[in-house]
Amino acid sequence: MAVIAAGWIAVLLLGGGIALERTLTNLVERNFDDQLEYVLTALIASAEIQVGGEVYLYSQLGDQRFLEPNSGVYWQISGKGEETLPSRSLWDRTLEVRGDHFDTDPHYYDSEQFASEPLRMVERTVILPGSDTRWTFAVASATEELDAQITRIRSILVWSFAVLGLGLFLMTLLQIRYGLSPLRRVRAAIQNLRSTGANRITEPLPTEVEPLVEEINSLLAHTENQAEEARRHAGNLAHALKTPLTVLTNAATANAPDLGTAVIRETRTMQRHVDHHLARARAVGRRAVGHARAPVCRSAEGVRRAVERLYPDSRIDIAGNKQAEVMIERQDLDEILGNLIENAAKYGGGTVFVTVDAEEGSEQCVVWVEDDGVGIPASERTRIFDRGARLDTGKPGTGLGLAIVRDVAEIYGGSVELDESEDLGGLLVKLSLPRAGGAGN
């Protein structure tokens, strides 16, 4: 920030200084030329033609320097074939004029005819009354005073702009230090979190950094929730595995005759628990990455092709909003829809309806999965979400499908409800997931 500010200050001051220097220099030079033109006009007004055709001045110019030899200001009147009339200040010298043309307006130019005395000259060609000769009136002045004024102006500008640039740069440094001081306070507050073990930034901070502090506190809360959720799942998994392990240990210690059967039964139980918690862990990990988008119909079509290979006698129809998208990872959406559609095909009568975005206009994208089976009694619709809960034990399964669906949906801010299908008469599963922004309704 300091380097960029210094660069811009240098560029702007340099550009402004050059423009101001040119403006002031032009004003001084213009004023110098105006003074020469004023003298030239007075010289022409004072000139007359004598009886013999020679030019003379009936009144002398008021500047005393025209009477002092080599004073630095001169005038001269010359005409072709006529005697030149110079000012006394020229002494024995003559101005080299450019009188080979007729100037109706004053003509300015610089002259180096005097080696140690650069001149600024103005001349004009005039035909005086009583004469046919083109008289060239010239006024010259040494540029030493003009150059001194210009040098002084430039010196003042350089020092002034240097001081101004230094002041602006120092002000920028102070502004940067003062402007970034809230961030240093935030850094100190974060260091205080590590040293004191606090879990939030509670120190009053300037308004400018309040959004940053709020985001940091939100991140801390999110991290704390994730850590707590991980500890809770680890505890639940440990508790769930404790009983099967105890059963296996007791059976092995007692050399029970049904040890093989017990091992198979308890390992299946442990496998269900592990699968359940792994599904939750994957969902939590993907959610932490950021807001994802997944097309519902595309996921449902992929699941239908897989389920129809497992249950070739089933007919699965998908209808609804083809553009609907939800804020969930595609893998998790596939797992949710896979469990719901597979259950509908497994336990239903062969017909499955999937309606995407069944309740248009709501903030949640609602997906209905209906089958023509016997359904689930209202009294069992809560218990069926428990891990390992199964109403039909005659068909293979782990009893984890609906539990995984509910847990994963809730991780993403969704929900799952069970009801009775009015069209097919079987089970209606109402899956609600957060709608992705910009998705079609």
What is the value of pTM for the model shown? 0.47
Query: Does a structural domain hold residue 311?
Result: yes
d(CA 159, CA 339): 81
pLDDT score, position 266: 78
CA distances to 7, 108, 341, 393, 437 from 398, rounded to whole Å, are 70, 107, 16, 10, 36
Regarding whether 362 and 301 lie in a shared domain, the answer is yes
Regarding whether 228 and 117 lie in a shared domain, the answer is no
Regarding whether 300 and 281 lie in a shared domain, the answer is no
Average pLDDT over the chain reads: 83
Regarding whether 406 and 316 lie in a shared domain, the answer is yes
CA distances to 230, 283, 284, 317, 413 from 287, rounded to whole Å, are 14, 6, 5, 30, 10
pLDDT score, position 386: 64
pLDDT at 409 over 50: yes
Beta-strand relationship, 315-320 and 351-356: parallel
Query: Does a structural domain hold residue 158?
Result: no
pLDDT (tens digit per residue) in 243-273: 778 777 887 887 778 778 878 877 877 776 6
Regarding whether 110 and 237 lie in a shared domain, the answer is no
Selection from 12-21, 377-386, 388-397 with the highest mean pLDDT: 12-21
Regarding whether 233 and 115 lie in a shared domain, the answer is no
Query: Does a structural domain hold residue 216?
Result: yes
Say whether 262 sits in a helix, a strand or coil: helix
Query: Does a structural domain hold residue 380?
Result: yes
Regarding whether 281 and 300 lie in a shared domain, the answer is no
Regarding whether 309 and 379 lie in a shared domain, the answer is yes
Query: Does a structural domain hold residue 179?
Result: no
Contacts of 198 (CB under 8 A, 6+ apart): 192
Looking at the structure of the chain, the number of domains it has is 3
d(CA 5, CA 262): 77
Last residue of a domain, one of 260, 288, 316: 288
Contacts of 428 (CB under 8 A, 6+ apart): 368, 369, 370, 418, 419, 420, 421, 422
Regarding whether 224 and 336 lie in a shared domain, the answer is no
Query: Does a structural domain hold residue 194?
Result: no
pLDDT score, position 282: 62
Regarding whether 260 and 343 lie in a shared domain, the answer is no
The whole domain housing 281 covers 208-288
pLDDT score, position 186: 82
